[in-house]
């Protein structure tokens, strides 16, 4: 039984590697699919206020009455990711509130390597992932449906104070007509669509990040669920199947 599991795992890895290589070789002579998020002529900048792009994923300025401001793209991201990557990033927090949410969208262009394993982002910032859960996020707009997502819980000790902090990181992927929480499903879908239609699906990686003190995880996640339900329909164009169908 163990041997068969390793064989399946090895085959899956091989398919993902082959898909990545084949897609890269196909670059420059394929059609690019429609994005599943709203893109507009809203400039976005890096940490030194240099212009990264004249367009970005258009995130709402206010959600549930909570104001926001745009966040810059890090120099590391700008250097590491393909130049045709499109970003969207804002931070939402009311004055005096202990609830602040970072919303980030990374939309690939003709180079699919814009999107990577989300866990890398946390590990790079010294977060220790303590749990990984598959969840469903209920949406009421434009009709009732659920978004499949991954919820990561992580912790780290703040430098200086030694205070332990917990983060909740929720993410999923969307293309012009699909939603998934699984990286393998996304790659498999890209491979099939390229073969069948000669078109590269344009996937976006959507994430929500919030922190709290130990013990406040459940209450914070419940607030985050409400926030996602109110904000995601504002910029995500693709929907799932209506509830009950």
Give the model confidence (pLDDT) of 153-182 as tens digits. Answer: 999 988 877 789 999 999 999 999 999 999
Query: Region 120-132: what's the mean pLDDT?
Result: 87
With a cut of 90, say whether residue 136 has pLDDT above it: yes
User: What's the confidence (pLDDT) of residue 120?
Assistant: 79
Point out the least confidently predicted range of 16-20, 65-69, 76-80, 101-105: 16-20
Contact criterion met (CB below 8 Å) for 210 and 100: yes
Q: Which residues contact 5 (CB under 8 A, 6 or more apart)?
A: none
Residues making up the chain, counted from first to last: 245
With a cut of 90, say whether residue 9 has pLDDT above it: no
Q: Which sequence spans correspond to the domains of the chain?
A: 2-235
pLDDT category at 126 given cuts 50, 70, 90 is confident
Give the model confidence (pLDDT) of 81-103 as tens digits. Answer: 899 999 999 999 999 999 999 99
Summary mean pLDDT of the chain: 87
User: What's the confidence (pLDDT) of residue 242?
Assistant: 82
Give the model confidence (pLDDT) of 211-224 as tens digits. Answer: 999 999 999 999 99
**Pairing label, strands 39-40, 86-93:** unpaired
Query: Region 55-68: what's the mean pLDDT?
Result: 97
**Quick one: what percent of the chain has pLDDT higher than 90?**
67
Measured distance CA(111)–CA(217) in Å, rounded: 36
Q: Output 194-201 pairs: Cβ under 8 A, ≥24 positions apart.
A: 194/22, 194/23, 194/26, 194/30, 197/31, 198/30, 198/31, 199/30, 199/31, 199/32, 199/33, 200/23, 200/26, 200/30, 200/31, 200/32, 200/33, 200/110, 200/112, 201/33, 201/175, 201/176
pTM: 0.86
Contact criterion met (CB below 8 Å) for 155 and 164: yes
pLDDT category at 12 given cuts 50, 70, 90 is very low
Q: Which residues contact 60 (CB under 8 A, 6 or more apart)?
A: 68, 231, 234, 235
With a cut of 90, say whether residue 238 has pLDDT above it: yes
Measured distance CA(54)–CA(34) in Å, rounded: 19
């Amino acid at each position: 039984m163990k041997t068969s599991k390793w064989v399946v795992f090895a085959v899956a890895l091989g398919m993902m590697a082959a898909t990545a290589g084949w897609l890269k070789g196909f670059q420059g002579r394929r059609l690019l699919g429609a994005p599943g998020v709203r893109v507009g002529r809203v400039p976005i900048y890096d940490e030194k206020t240099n212009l990264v792009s004249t367009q970005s994923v258009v995130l709402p300025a206010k959600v549930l009455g909570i104001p926001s401001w745009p966040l810059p793209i890090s120099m590391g991201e700008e250097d590491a990711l393909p130049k045709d990557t499109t970003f969207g990033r804002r931070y939402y927090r009311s004055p005096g509130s202990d609830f602040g949410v970072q919303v980030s969208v990374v939309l690939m262009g003709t180079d699919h390597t814009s999107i990577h394993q989300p866990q890398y982002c946390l590990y790079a910032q010294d977060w220790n992932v303590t749990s990984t859960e598959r969840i469903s996020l209920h949406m009421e707009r434009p009709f009732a449906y659920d978004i499949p997502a991954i919820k990561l819980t992580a912790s780290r000790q703040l430098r200086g104070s030694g205070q332990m902090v917990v983060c909740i990181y929720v993410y999923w992927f969307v293309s012009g007509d699909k939603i998934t929480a699984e990286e393998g499903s996304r790659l498999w879908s890209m491979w099939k669509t390229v073969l069948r239609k000669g078109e590269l699906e344009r996937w976006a990686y959507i994430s929500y990040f919030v922190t709290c003190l130990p013990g406040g995880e459940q209450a914070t996640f419940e607030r985050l669920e409400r926030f996602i339900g109110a904000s995601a329909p504002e910029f995500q164009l693709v929907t799932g199947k209506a509830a009950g169908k």
